[in-house]
Amino acid sequence: MAALPKRIIKETERLVADPVPGINATPHEDNLRYFDVTIHGPASSPYEEGIFRLELFLPEDYPMSPPKIRFLTKIYHPNIDKLGRICLDVLKTNWSPALQIRTILLSIQALLGAPNPEDPLANDVAQRWKEDEKAAIETAREWTRTHATV
Amino acid sequence: MDSEQIDYQSLNYLSTVDHNLCCPICRSPLVDPVYTTCLHTFCSTCINKALERSQTCPVDRTPLQAEDVSPAPIMIANLVNELAVLCPNSELGCTFTCARYLVEAHLSHDCEFVYMKCRECGDKVLRRDAGRECLHQLEECTHCFQHIKKIDMEAHEKECPGLLGECMHCRLEIERSELKEHEFTCEEATISCSSSSLGCPWSGQRKELSHHQAACPFTFLRPVLQAHAERLTKLELENRTLRKRIEQLTPRINQSNTTEPLSFDEQAYQFLTEQEHMRQDMERLSATLGELEIKQGMLLMNESLRTKEELAGIRAAINGIRMQIHWLLTVRVHGTEHRHVVGGGAGTPSNSAGPSHPAEHSASRRLSDNFGQGVKL
């Protein structure tokens, strides 16, 4: 593997020295492009008090192509599927090399606070969200309790 | 002379650089800065790479073409070019620092840590050694008598097998090449018991080993434990092969069952649950039935007892009435006979009544007996 680009080193240093509140990203010792991430569910959302684990991988041509991110903790969310894949424009078509790991993780935290069932990835969840939002939110809360709390 | 291009983006700067002078893409101080029609500044290589992927500005996403990018004002270029940097060979030992635009000149003319071609043999050599005699000639090591290139001699001395080395256990000075061998025999080297594989926790100097082994329970039990271990590995192997067999066979069994096993199982399960429900219902019903039977029996008995009593009473009453009628009839018949035979005296009825009295009495007693019997019934 080629040497780690300066940008990744800088981003990692800043993530460790000056972390975003509610977000923690630590690189693996044997692969500095692979990060263990935890995101705290935003307050007054059904994910409140949940701690969600994610994996983040910076591909070879990062920052020209977006990081690959996946939820490892089970989560009931219309834009996150069973495998933990996330439907978020900035992770796909709207990626820009000026974005960083910290901004992307902040976007994901914001997505937890504002689910968008109109652009679903988990169709069954989105359907339920549209038909009976109260019940869907209750399920999300229950999943948070069972899967995202230690 | 080093023909490699300098990687400006990986240079180390003497002080932290104002983030306004950094490229939003590589986050390093701008190299060959350019700016866009939407007035954002990037390194020229960074924005070109980004435009290959997406024809928008990475900062504000306005549509952007390669021709919308032009060199940044000279002032910006000067600001970044004059930033002080460390020599790229600082890790090799060069301590030189200079303005960034001077790095190239430093590397091509002055830096002592740039690899050059040796004047004599054409091999690689650091500039600081290039002026001296050729370092690629072989030279004999004074300790091990191997032939080594002069340039590698420094590294060789660190591991030369001919040099003396000190045994870390017994402090004996031995040639390095024999040090390893010595380690296996050194009396003061720390070793573990030969039965450590069987679980003996002892470790100590080699010279104490024989003393330990004389008392080591693991050494005594060694044959037994070893036999067990062998048996265990044999069983494990067998277990593994059997597991493999199971793994091979399970899909086959599943396959032969996949035609309709699920639906069958479901049906059977449904039937079984239904049967269970029915059995429970049955049990409940039969219990209720038994209760009802008992209750009915009680009622019937109560009722019939009362009727029987009444019946007996009535029968007794009828009997009494019958006796009375019978008596009256006999009295009347006797009376007419008396009147007929005696010619009738007013006082005689009392006399004739006298002898008839006991008969009446016994009849009434019998009647009362009868009545009593009836009641008893």
Q: Tens digit of pLDDT for each residue in B194-221?
A: 888 778 888 888 888 888 888 888 888 8
Model confidence at B13: pLDDT above 70: yes
Query: CB A7 to CB B59 under 8 A?
Result: no
Domain stop point among B306, B336, B362? B306
Q: Is the pLDDT of residue B41 over 90?
A: yes
| Residue B351 vs residue B23, higher pLDDT | B23
Give the pLDDT of residue B344.
Answer: 45
As a whole number of angstroms, the distance between CA A74 and CA A83 comes to: 8
Dihedral pair phi/psi, residue B190, rounded to 5°: -80, 125
Consecutive H or E run containing B361: helix B348-376
Given pLDDT bands bounded at 50, 70 and 90, which one contains residue B159? confident
Beta-carbon separation of B53 and A64 below 8 A: yes
Q: What is the number of structural domains in chain B?
A: 2
d(CA B86, CA B107): 11
Q: Which range among B60-74, B128-142, B179-193 shows the weakest confidence by mean pLDDT?
A: B128-142
Percent of chain B with pLDDT over 70: 86
Identify whether B121 is part of a domain. no
Domain boundaries, position B237: 221-306
Q: How far is B88 from chain A (nearest CA, A)?
A: 14
- Using the Cβ of B10 and the Cβ atoms of chain A, whether some distance falls under 8 Å is answered with yes
Confidence of residue B262 (pLDDT cuts 50, 70, 90): low
pLDDT digits (tens, 9 = 90+) for B267-323: 888 899 999 999 999 999 999 999 999 999 999 999 999 999 999 999 999 999 999
**Candidates B24, B28, B52; nearest CB to A98:** B24
* Domain end marker among B253, B287, B306: B306
Q: Residue B139 has what pLDDT?
A: 76
| Residue in B89, B74, B82 with CA at minimum distance from that of residue B11 | B89
Catalytic residue among A87, A88, A91, A112: A87
Range among A19-28, B168-177, B366-375 with highest mean pLDDT value = A19-28
Q: How many domains does chain A have?
A: 1
> Domain range holding A142?
6-147
Chain A residues with CB-CB distance to B56 below 8 A: 96
Gap between the Cα atoms of B136 and B124, Å rounded: 9
CB-CB under 8 Å, A10 with B25: no
Please answer whether residues B192 and B205 qualify as being in contact, where contact means their C-beta atoms are separated by less than 8 angstroms. Answer: no
Amino acid B291: pLDDT: 94
Establish if A22 belongs to a structural domain: yes
Interface test mutation site (partner A, options B8, B25, B91, max chain A beta carbons within 10 A):
B25
Secondary structure in 3-state letters for B145-180: CCEEEHHHHHHHHHHCCCCEEECCCCCCEEEHHHHH
Range 294-333 of B in CB contact (< 8 A) with A:
none
* Contact by Cβ (8 Å): B80, B33: yes
Cβ contact B318:B367 at 8 Å? no
Residue B9: its chain A contacts at CB < 8 A?
A: 5-6
Asked whether residue A126 is domain-assigned, the answer is yes
Identify the band that residue A1 occupies on the pLDDT scale cut at 50, 70 and 90.
low
Asked if residue B357 has pLDDT above 80, the reply is no
Annotated catalytic residue A87: yes
- Report yes or no: A148 and A41 within 8 Å, Cβ to Cβ: yes
Q: Which pLDDT does position B304 carry in this prediction?
A: 92
Nearest CA in chain B to A66: B53
pLDDT confidence tier of residue A7, bands split at 50, 70 and 90:
very high
CB contacts under 8 A, B 45-64 vs A, are 46, 49-50, 52-54, 56, 58-59, 61
Predicted TM-score (pTM) of this structure: 0.55
Mean pLDDT, range B154-169, rounded to an integer: 76
> Is there a contact between A100 and B58 (Cβ–Cβ < 8 Å)?
no
In this predicted structure, what is the pLDDT of residue B212? 87
Interatomic CA distance for residues A33 and A57, integer angstroms: 6
Mean pLDDT of B148-168: 76
Is the pLDDT assigned to residue B67 strictly greater than 80? yes
Residues 6+ apart with CB under 8 A from A83: A70
In 10 A of CB B168, how many CB atoms?
13
B61: region left, alpha or beta (phi > 0 left; psi from -120 to 50 alpha): left
Of B115, B134, B151, the last residue of a domain is B115
Least confident of B190-204, B221-235, B250-264: B250-264
Give mean pLDDT, residues B133-148: 76
Q: What is the pLDDT of residue B338?
A: 66
The CATH number for A18's domain is 3.10.110.10
Chain A residues inside the 8 Å CB shell of B49: 64, 97
- Lowest mean per-residue pLDDT among A27-41, A112-126, B30-44: A112-126
Tens-place pLDDT, residues A75-89: 999 999 889 999 999
Residue A1 maps to a domain: no
| pLDDT exceeds 50 at position B348 | no
For residue A73, which of A64, A83, A63, A65 has the smallest C-alpha distance?
A: A83
- How far apart, in Å, are the Cα atoms of B43 and each of B29, B31, B104? 9, 5, 18
Average of pLDDT values for B335-344? 62
A134 domain-assigned: yes
Average pLDDT in chain B: 82
CB contact (8 A) between residue B25 and residue A98: yes
Residues in chain B: 377
3-state secondary structure B216-273: CHHHHCHHHHHHHHHHHHHHHHHHHHHHHHHHHHHHHHHHHHCCCHHHHHHHHHHHHH
Using an 8 Å CB-CB cutoff, list chain A residues near B58: 96-98
In contact, B86 and B104? CB cutoff 8 Å: no
Domain contains B265: yes
Counting Cα atoms < 13 Å in the Cβ hemisphere of B259 gives 2
Q: Would the ipTM clear 0.95, i.e. be above it?
A: no
* Residues in chain B within 8 Å Cβ distance of A10: 27-28
